[in-house]
Amino acid sequence: MPSGSLPVTLRLTGRRVLVVGGGRVATKRVRAFLDAGADVVVVSPEASEPIAALAASGELVWHARGYTTSDVDGAWLVQTATGSAVDDQVAADAEERRIWCFKGGDPEAATAWMPAVARADDVTVSVCGGGDAGRAKRLRDEVALSLDTGGLPLRHRTRHPGGRVALIGGGPGDPDLLSARGRRLLAEADVVVVDRLAPLAVLDKLDPDVEVVDVGKHPDHHPVPQEEINQILIEHARTGKVVARLKGGDPYVFGRGGEERLACEAAGVPVEVVPGVTSAISVPAAAGIPVTHRGVAASFSVVTGHDQLAQLPVGGDHTIVMLMGVRRLATTTAELIAAGHSPDTPVAVVERGYAPDQRVTVGTLADIAEKAAAVGATSPAVTVIGDVVPLSPHWP
């Protein structure tokens, strides 16, 4: 920070700001002052179309004439933007009256500098580049990116804006596949209610005082019933906390996110749903398998291993993606063959998609259960059935 300067935040609502000039710089600053709630007065013989339109709508006052010294009277802040000697006169008049002045194109002669600003919800970060506007903007953009992606802490420490719940799809488990919106909401959270298949590595970046509630479910073992999970979300939100419900995949693809949203809404708790990269598509992709492919498959179904499978379209040109079914693989493949699917239909079982120990086992409906059992395949795993499977580099 340059010697002799002090960063401050000005509260301009209802206070007069004078802008002398009507061109590009003036237009940009006018918008910023109006956004801050200022009572804006523009003095310039000519003005840009946006300024003229704002004046016509009554959002600011435009005096279509040259500057006079009395124009600065009553102003709390002044912006010069004529690009001429008029700027010097305005700055001198403001100095004499002890009014802070932004001086367009001449920061060294100004008594105030306009920062580059990044905002996230009710957080405002101002960046001063030592009078170098371009430098400040580049720094501001990096700060804004960190705010948007949850790289900077956004939690309220002294007050809360009101309890709320965010149902966040965490993707297939790789933290890099968590959306920027999801990361940002996690950075704001006071409580994180997490599933077993969520990207658990992101929990390491939470503040130490963030409460983490593990409600993870295992095959045939649900230690925390769904109704209790719903109540956990509601009770924490009702205490004024920001609650992040971090789930694997997408909340609305076999994630019971719809039930949680409806429960929160019924309890009067604000809730937001953040889509995630569903494992039904991303895990096959991790094994090099597209669920659709031109000339091979034009449609696909996503099912669980517990569903009735006889109604699914028969034929390798319709891809079947099966979640949560590796333990019933022998039963499932037998049901599909009995329903008319060819025993020679290609199948892949993809375990722990995107993890360092990801494993892919391939075969056909006739032998995949035996092959998966031979390697000890376990959940989490996604099974892909159809003619797209041989597109994978894992196919022999």
Check residue 292 and give its pLDDT: 96
Residue 115, classified by CB atoms within 10 Å of its CB into exposed (0-12), middle (13-18) or buried (19+), is buried
Assess contact for 159 and 199: CB atoms under 8 A.
Answer: no
Q: What tokens appear for 274 in the block?
A: 């953040």
Q: What is residue 2's predicted lDDT score, i.e. its pLDDT?
A: 46
CA 234 to chain CA centroid, Å, is 23
pLDDT digits over 152-202, tens only? 766 665 555 679 999 999 999 899 999 989 998 998 899 999 998 899 999
Better pLDDT: 108 or 284: 284
Percent of the chain with pLDDT over 70: 92
SS3 of the chain: CCCCCCCCCCCCCCCEEEEECCCHHHHHHHHHHHHCCCEEEEECCCCCHHHHHHHHCCCCEEECCCCCHHHHCCCCEEEECCCCCHHHHHHHHHHHCCCEEEECCCHHHCCCCCCEEEEECCEEEEECCCCCHHHHHHHHHHHHHHHHCCCCCCCCCCCCCCCEEEEEECECCCHHHCCHHHHHHHHHCCEEEECCCCCHHHHHHCCCCCEEEECCCECCECCCCHHHHHHHHHHHHHCCCEEEEEECECCCCCCCHHHHHHHHHHCCCCEEEECCCCHHHHHHHHCCCCCCECCCECEEEEEECCCCCCCCCCCCCEEEEEECCHHHHHHHHHHHHHCCCCCCCEEEEEECCCCCCCEEEEEECCCHHHHHHHHCCCCCEEEEECCCHHHCCCCC
The pLDDT of residue 1: 41
The residues with which 319 forms a beta bridge, in sequence order, are 300
- Report the pLDDT value the prediction gives residue 131, as an integer from 0 to 100: 67
Catalytic residues: 195, 217
pLDDT tens readout for residues 346-356: 999 999 999 99
Hunting for tokens 């009014």 — which residue is that?
A: 99
* Least-confidence region, from 31-45, 76-90, 139-153, 303-317: 139-153
Question: Is the model's pLDDT at 362 over the cut of 50?
Answer: yes
Q: Beta strand 242-247 with 164-169: parallel, antiparallel or unpaired?
A: parallel
pLDDT for 50 equals 95
Reference 348, options 328, 371, 331, 332; nearest CA is 371
What pLDDT is recorded for position 360?
97
CB count in 10 Å sphere of residue 173: 26
Report the distance separating Cα 368 and Cα 326, nearest Å: 10
Closest CA to 381 of 276, 240, 296, 283: 283
pLDDT value at position 338? 93
The Cα–Cα gap between 341 and 344 comes to 8
Question: Per-residue pLDDT averaged across 5-25, rounded?
Answer: 91
Which residue from 45, 107, 23 is spatially nearest to 91, judged by alpha carbons?
107
Contact 181, 358 (CB under 8 A): no
Pick the more confident residue, 82 or 139.
82
Report percent pLDDT > 90 for the chain. Answer: 70
Predicted confidence (pLDDT) at residue 365 exceeds the cutoff of 90 = yes
- Mean pLDDT over 321-342 rounds to 92
Q: How many residues does the chain have?
A: 396
Cα Dmax for the chain: 93
- pLDDT at residue 218, as a whole number: 60
Cα 273 to chain centroid distance, Å, stands at 11
Contact indicator for 381, 326 with CB cutoff of 8 Å? yes
pLDDT above 50: residue 118: yes
* Average of per-residue pLDDT values in the chain: 90
243 alpha-carbon distance from chain centroid: 15
Strand 16-20 and strand 242-247: pairing?
unpaired
Q: Are 382 and 355 in contact (CB under 8 A)?
A: no
Task: Indicate if the pLDDT at residue 345 is higher than 50.
Answer: yes
Distance of alpha carbon 145 from alpha carbon 154, whole angstroms: 13
pLDDT tens readout for residues 235-289: 999 999 999 999 999 999 998 999 999 999 999 999 999 999 999 999 999 999 9
Backbone angles phi, psi at 53, to 5 degrees: -70, -40
Place of tokens 């802040």: 77
